[in-house]
Structure 1
Amino acid sequence: MTWKRTMIETGRGDFEVFEKGSGPPLAVTHLYSEFNETGDYFAESFVETHTVYLINLKECGRTDKASFPHELTMLESALDLEAIRNELEYERWNFAGHSTGGMLAVVYGIYFSESLETLIIANAAAREYMTFSEDCIYNESHSKFNRMQSLIEALKNEGLSKEERKELTVERTKLSLWNPQKYEHYFNKSIEKKMSAVRMNFLARELHTFDVTRKLALITAKTMVISGSYDVQCPPYYSEEIAEGIPGAVLYRFHQSNHYPHLEEGQKFKQVIKAHFD
């Protein structure tokens, strides 16, 4: 079953949104992924229990372009989420974010907890996580740093063929799996997505000054923080920091996962999520 595409018109622009599932509303997005009708692996984890809204932010897919650079910041993206929620006429909804989507989840929770029933922050950080983290693959001291950077730059090329993009994406993803040999087992659906080079380049700048750790206590929504014990992108101690800073937050670490616990330990992930919502 593919995702149903719709355009949501708001006072902040028109947003491309994909819907699937049934149950209470839950929004999912990522800071630079371009989604389409094939969906998203992280978002798929919630469709059995929720009506999931998979959102393309500005500069992604058919969503409006940004008129000014500041529209690409995490705070502006959180304001966009609020505009979409209001247009869908939900007094409250749930939000789940993975990786940079999890970073946006932190910002959204800080400023708009009153709009949230629950918040799920997976494999993320509340501050810049590269400079002082030698076990982060985006740190120059990491053994796989150069290869990861070359793959990211290659994937920004809009002229890639479908086959070339898939080959590069597979190699990049394997760098963030606890057991790379199981790639085909994990990524076994016909899900395809691209990266917005504009948003990714902006994030690379915004990250250098990103630190909302002192505001974590402002999050009042029911929160679950998730991490993989071997995460090379956002090392687990950043998730611990988030959970410690949010009142009442629950931390769940997946001990046989790198950056993708929703796939690497998929069944356990769904059980943990279900318990969170019960």
Structure 2
Amino acid sequence: MRARIRDTEIYFDIDGAGLVPDGGAMRERPTGFLIHGGPGSDHSGFKPSMSPLAEHMQLVYFDHRGQGRSGRGDPARYTLDENVEDMEALRRHLGLGPIASIGTSYGGMVAMAHAARYPQSVSRLVLIVTAAQGGFILRAQQILRERGNAEQIAAGDTLWAGGFRDEEQLQRYYDAMGPLYAVRHDPVAAAATRGRGIGSPDAINRAFGPDGFLRRLDLRPELARITAPTLILAGRHDWICPPEFSEEIHRLIPGSTLRIFEDSSHSIRVDEPEALRQAIAAFVAG
């Protein structure tokens, strides 16, 4: 499905009922927005790993502008601020009240900013393997030099240079980096998952290149404005958003809860999928 909002077209998909029979009445389930990372990827990475959450809430998947199946446009507008406004416009377009906002990696950054700027629009906030400030890039560069092999370090150099020329080169980056993203990396399964997605080199270059907007990111001054109950989930072995950045978010969001998955890297949904789903479902159910 597609929504014409603001100056673009956002692709979205819905999984699960919003109203379910409960004895002699109909019970309304919460609606959860699943916000994908990257930038430069799409919502397909959530399927099927997060699909069982539809037993507990209605799920709304969507692709950020310029990514996946959403409309393209001026790459200068492929920014976090635009993604936040698109997300809020989609919530209103769908006629929804406060949502459970579930963001992973870059999607967690979008979710954080949205919850701070539109606190009345969010009932629950789940932040998965993310960071609130651009310092995560310098730290990731350091970790990559310590842990990475020659191929992975070279792939990282392309990321930091904003040098992806096409989708095929972006695919090769994820092939090389897979063992760093997931402790339980399975190259065959990972290739099949990525084959279902649509990569967007312009979006990832715009974020991570030498003048990328993520290098200037600093959401820390905004976090005290978040009023929604917040669950922060990190992977102990995460190389690109290491747990120290989740710990910082936890200190800055009043009343938040932090959980570190000891057997996970950046892709908790690959390393500990059932535990991840259970944590999210229990938290959103309140």
Name 1:193's counterpart in structure 2: 197
Name 2:174's counterpart in structure 1: 169
- 1:22, 1:49 within 8 Å by CA — same for their partners in 2? no
Name 1:122's counterpart in structure 2: 128
Matched, 1:92 2:98: yes
Quote how far apart the aligned CAs of 1:246 are: 0.5
Higher helix share: 2
Give the 3 Å change call, closer, same or farther, for CA 155–46 of structure 1 in structure 2. Answer: farther
Quote how far apart the aligned CAs of 1:197 are: 1.3
Q: Percent identity?
A: 21
User: AA paired with 1:176?
Assistant: Y
Matched, 1:83 2:54: no
- 2:42, 2:64 within 8 Å by CA — same for their partners in 1? no
Which region of structure 1 is more displaced relative to structure 2, 14-23 or 101-110?
Answer: 14-23
Unaligned stretches of 5+ residues in structure 2: 19-29
SS of residue paired to 2:55: coil
Matched, 1:277 2:254: no
User: AA paired with 1:177?
Assistant: A
How many angstroms apart in 1 are the aligned matches of 2:199 and 2:86?
19
Name 1:13's counterpart in structure 2: 8
Once the two structures are superposed, residues 73-109 of structure 1 have per-residue CA deviations (whole angstroms, 9 ceiling, x without a partner) of: 2122111111111110002212111111111111111
How many angstroms apart in 2 are the aligned matches of 1:166 and 1:203?
17
Quote how far apart the aligned CAs of 1:260 are: 1.3
How many angstroms apart in 2 are the aligned matches of 1:154 and 1:41?
30
How many angstroms apart in 2 are the aligned matches of 1:155 and 1:22?
42
**Aligned with residue 51 of structure 1, among 51, 54, 58:** 58
How many angstroms apart in 1 are the aligned matches of 2:194 and 2:167?
21
Quote how far apart the aligned CAs of 1:37 are: 6.7
Quote how far apart the aligned CAs of 1:112 are: 1.2
Give the 3 Å change call, closer, same or farther, for CA 157–59 of structure 1 in structure 2. Answer: same
Q: So what's the TM-score if we normalise by structure 1?
A: 0.83
SS of residue paired to 2:32: strand
- Structure-to-structure mapping, 1:226-245, within 5 angstroms: 226-245=233-252
Once the two structures are superposed, residues 5-27 of structure 1 have per-residue CA deviations (whole angstroms, 9 ceiling, x without a partner) of: x0112234221112223342211
How many angstroms apart in 2 are the aligned matches of 1:206 and 1:271?
34
Which region of structure 1 is more displaced relative to structure 2, 140-149 or 52-61?
Answer: 140-149
Quote how far apart the aligned CAs of 1:235 are: 0.7
- Structure-to-structure mapping, 1:85-164, within 5 angstroms: 85-130=91-136, 132-133=138-139, 136-137=140-141, 141-144=145-148, 146-149=153-156, 152=159, 156-158=164-166, 160=168
Give the 3 Å change call, closer, same or farther, for CA 212–254 of structure 1 in structure 2. Answer: same
How many angstroms apart in 1 are the aligned matches of 2:116 and 2:279?
23
Quote how far apart the aligned CAs of 1:156 are: 3.7
- 1:151, 1:172 within 8 Å by CA — same for their partners in 2? no
Once the two structures are superposed, residues 124-153 of structure 1 have per-residue CA deviations (whole angstroms, 9 ceiling, x without a partner) of: 0000134552xx257674442623326758
Give the 3 Å change call, closer, same or farther, for CA 12–45 of structure 1 in structure 2. Answer: farther
Which region of structure 1 is more displaced relative to structure 2, 203-212 or 182-191?
Answer: 182-191
Name 2:259's counterpart in structure 1: 252
Give the 3 Å change call, closer, same or farther, for CA 167–197 of structure 1 in structure 2. Answer: closer
- 2:182, 2:267 within 8 Å by CA — same for their partners in 1? yes
Q: So what's the TM-score if we normalise by structure 2?
A: 0.81
Once the two structures are superposed, residues 39-86 of structure 1 have per-residue CA deviations (whole angstroms, 9 ceiling, x without a partner) of: 5456436333222221111112342223472x3221221111111111
Name 1:27's counterpart in structure 2: 33
How many angstroms apart in 1 are the aligned matches of 2:274 and 2:264?
12
Name 2:27's counterpart in structure 1: none
Give the 3 Å change call, closer, same or farther, for CA 165–68 of structure 1 in structure 2. Answer: closer
Give the 3 Å change call, closer, same or farther, for CA 266–36 of structure 1 in structure 2. Answer: closer
Aligned length: 266
